[in-house]
Copies of this chain bind each other. A is one copy, B any other.
Amino acid sequence: MNNQSVGKQSIKFENPPVIISQASVVGEMEGQGPLGSYFDQIETDPAFGQESWELGESEMVRRAVSTAITKSGLEQDKIKYIFGGDLLGQLIGTTFGLKDFNIPLFGLYGACSTCGESLSLAAMTVAAGYAENVLAVTSSHYGGAEKQFRFPLEYGNQRPLSATWTVTGSGAFIVSQTNGEKPMLQYPRITAITTGKVVDYGVRDSLNMGACMAPAAADVIYQCFEDLSMKETQFDKIITGDLGKVGSEILIKLLKDNGYDISRQHMDCGVNIYNNEQQDTHSGGSGCGCSAVTLAGYIIHNLKQHMWKKVLFVPTGALLSTVSYNEGQTIPGIAHALVIEQKSNTP
């Protein structure tokens, strides 16, 4: 074991952990979107058979975790820790979704960047030898998030074109150790991570979160390139979480100003998950579930099919609460980057 702390904000793994199993559970609208065929489960009931959106989100988390464990073929007690989080106050989606699993929990909050945070800590934990297998899970729910952060759906307010649409979805991943005896070349490997800082450009519009998050995404991608001595052309895709159309344009401009042109490699999960023409989702999808289900469904599929060999996965988060927002505070952003690679079949 000789993991390297590299540069200001990054870690390079000597024995990169692998994602041996992943699961995505989504709502009806996500199932009808362009990525619908990549998801494990599509549920047409917004409450997932429960009494409320919040309990529905917990049920979605429970299903994603169960499915990931089943697909891995591992017994549940072989998973030492769960790293999990969601958007709701005090992480109730996660708490009530996980309470029957009997696995130690590290609760996380990084707004919609939480998928990156959870996978980073999961990779750090297994690469250090603290556990053979851990699980990372994140979720969001359109009804619960709109009710909490903006307006209850019943109010029927108008949404500006810069607004994003919270994804109803949960993505779960089992991250496992590799060593000499079991290289596990068939699985995607997390080879490095760059952890982001809180970046505040003074944006105050909760209906334009792409603009809040783009500076944080630019900051962590720039630092990742610097720390790891890499550049944009070494990646097949550079995939942000939920900047949407508005935020993606800002990101590309900010990085171009700093010497990196990612316009050819860039893709945003929020832009890809819906068909805005038909689904009227404005700037695109958002939420902890957006990047999580896109990774679990579409991205890992393309890696395993060898369409992509190396991607930079950068979930992005807008750090606001209704309290801070109503008290006139800014909305800072945060983003975390992971280098995910797939070895080619031929040795």
Q: Are B9 and A80 in contact (CB under 8 A)?
A: yes
CB distance from A96 to the nearest CB of B (A): 7
Q: Are A327 and B108 in contact (CB under 8 A)?
A: no
Q: Could you say which residues of chain B place their CB within 8 Å of the CB of A233?
A: none
Considering residues A98, A99, A117, which has the most beta carbons from chain B within 10 angstroms of its beta carbon?
A99
> Whole-angstrom distance between the alpha carbons of A98 and B96 in the complex?
29
Q: Is A17 an interface residue (CB 8 A)?
A: no
Q: Could you say which residues of chain B place their CB within 8 Å of the CB of A203?
A: none
Q: Are A321 and B90 in contact (CB under 8 A)?
A: yes
Contacts A11-B130, A109-B109 hold; do A329 and B3 have CB atoms under 8 A apart? Answer: no
Q: Are B131 and A197 in contact (CB under 8 A)?
A: no
Question: What's the interface size class on A, roughly?
Answer: 35 or more
> Whole-angstrom distance between the alpha carbons of A320 and B120 in the complex?
26
> Whole-angstrom distance between the alpha carbons of A54 and B109 in the complex?
18
Q: Could you say which residues of chain B place their CB within 8 Å of the CB of A55?
A: 327, 329
Convert A26-49 into 0s and 1s, putting 1 for each residue whose CB lies closer than 8 angstroms to a CB of B. 000000000000000000000000
Considering residues A85, A90, A101, A322, which has the most beta carbons from chain B within 10 angstroms of its beta carbon?
A90
Q: Is A305 an interface residue (CB 8 A)?
A: no
Q: Could you say which residues of chain B place their CB within 8 Å of the CB of A92?
A: 319-321, 323-324, 329
3 closest pairs, A vs B, by CB? Answer: A128-B128, A90-B321, A89-B89
Could you show 5 A-B contacts with beta carbons less than 8 Å apart?
A: A90-B319, A91-B319, A95-B319, A103-B197, A148-B323
Q: Please give the residue numbers on chain A whose beta carbons come within 8 Å of chain B beta carbons, in ascending order.
A: 1-3, 5, 8-9, 11, 51-52, 54-55, 77, 80-81, 85, 87-92, 95-96, 98-99, 101-111, 117, 120-121, 124-125, 127-132, 148, 195-198, 200, 319-324, 327, 329, 332, 334
